[in-house]
Chain A
């Protein structure tokens, strides 16, 4: 069940009715949200509900055991076991066939005849996200950063809450669980939430979907059939597509959570305006990058043990961040490019610092960072290494050819997507404040007309969000 569908609208209408009827009964409201979240998840494959329930029970039990013990070794053992089980599930469902394929490739390289059979395990949607939720909870409890969750209903809701269940944002236990302890006394921010939903729908349904079908998919499917200008615009198109696709999901998740009374953290902050690669990662998928920082980079030693170890830690973190996105060497290459870029940036930081004050230097830095990110996106989007190699080779020749696939409308969509990176935040706040003065019926009419218009502007049907497969 995708957010921009009629099915989801009717689902949310029922949830909103339940929230209205149970407004003062907080425990019942949470129970309904858990049921709704499991129903939402079951729309993909009901069997995976058991996996989600197991992951939640594991986190809950490990948290209780860690909280109940004062023995450091025992606490560490429980933490290690819980993390190993979480990662084991992720490994089996997401990476098993990738490991087997890699083992078979290695065996062939060594001249061995025997090949391991594949299991063709079905990837449960959202497993990477709820696994990270579980790991962050038990680790935070172990570190003392989060209180032990004593209510299984709260843990079930934290792990399964439908707005973030299948594609994030990755909400930390220390951020979300306190919201489940007592009902919020804050009013529901209806107008900003509606703006986020409408903006998200436009980004996904119009910009991301048209760029995918009209430019990115055909060019990446046969890069040798196109000249360099088309290849360049297709990679710009993918940069805008993936941003519009993923940030749209995050915006809608934030808004839906707000409409049922919960706060979510910011997940995207105009990433393509970054002047440093490090800054890009502070603006792109913030909940993942901070997760990797706090649960991987820092435990590895961060930048506390000298320059060389900081580079190694950056590289390892980005490689693992790459493979988190998918079971494939192209994701490893994408992570390696970012890790290498971050390390290089750190290396030349003293020199950069001296030259970064000029306005022209800042513009040039933004252009360089954007193009580096685009280069990495080629590996991320291409079917495999061979296609990525052909794509990059194609960018080096055929500049005399005109644009075949990147028509004026596609270029306009790219420009609209990029313009969104540079709009001031005050514009959103002003629009939300203006909309906030409209009465409920007016908001409903406005939202209905806007959704109908976006729906009419978009192509028939809605493609799944890119991050669902991660």
Chain B
């Protein structure tokens, strides 16, 4: 396929070239930092995307474990709505809906 051996142009990455180049891997962090970033990201997501947390939990079905979680998620979403934190989410949804409805101007 590709491959006409020995004819690879210089712009092409070798098959085993690392996707994240060495110079970007030098200044990294530890597994502890990965966990911290993931945990903080999850909390922030739960704050700003509480609508989706509720719909995701509701989509998992019913059950004795899920029911209280779904209830808690709904209360959490209500609380976020009361303090106005679902506003950005709703505004973005509205904006994208407008973009989807955008049409070409009528031809004369």
Contact = CB atoms under 8 A, between A and B. Distances in A.
B15 A172 contact: yes
B100 to A, nearest CB: 6
A249 to B, nearest CB: 13
Nearest to B96: A457
Contacts of A451: 41, 45, 49
A317 B3 CA distance: 10
B33 A188 contact: yes
Interface residues of B, number: 59
B2 A278 contact: yes
Interface of A: 5-7, 9-10, 12-13, 16-17, 19-20, 23, 172, 174-175, 186-194, 196, 210, 214, 250, 254, 258-261, 263-267, 269, 278-279, 281-283, 286-287, 289-290, 292-294, 297-298, 302-303, 310, 314, 317-318, 321, 338, 342, 346, 402-403, 407-409, 412, 429, 432-433, 436, 440-441, 443-445, 447-449, 451-453, 455-457, 460
Interface string B37-66: 111111111011100110110000000000
A407 B102 contact: yes
Contact of A192 (B20, B41, B55, B107): B20
Contact of A297 (B1, B92, B104, B107): B1
Interface of B: 1-5, 7-9, 12-13, 15-21, 23-45, 47-49, 52-53, 55-56, 88-90, 92-93, 96, 99-100, 102-104, 107
A447 B3 contact: no
* B contact face: mostly helix, strand, loop, or mixed: helix
B16 A172 contact: yes
A232 to B, nearest CB: 15
Nearest to B93: A456
Nearest to B24: A192
Contact of B24 (A267, A287, A432, A452): A432
Interface centre among A283, A297, A455 (most CB of B within 10 A): A455
Interface centre among A188, A321, A342 (most CB of B within 10 A): A188
Contacts of B34: 16, 19-20, 188, 190, 259-260
* A contact face: mostly helix, strand, loop, or mixed: helix
A443 B2 contact: no
Given A266-B18, A408-B104, A190 B35 contact: no
B20 A456 contact: no
B4 to A, nearest CB: 6
Given A20-B34, A254-B19, 7 more contacts: A16-B35, A188-B30, A191-B24, A342-B1, A445-B44, A451-B49, A453-B92
A444 B37 contact: yes
Contacts of B36: 440-441, 444
A266 B17 contact: yes
Contacts of B28: 186-191, 436
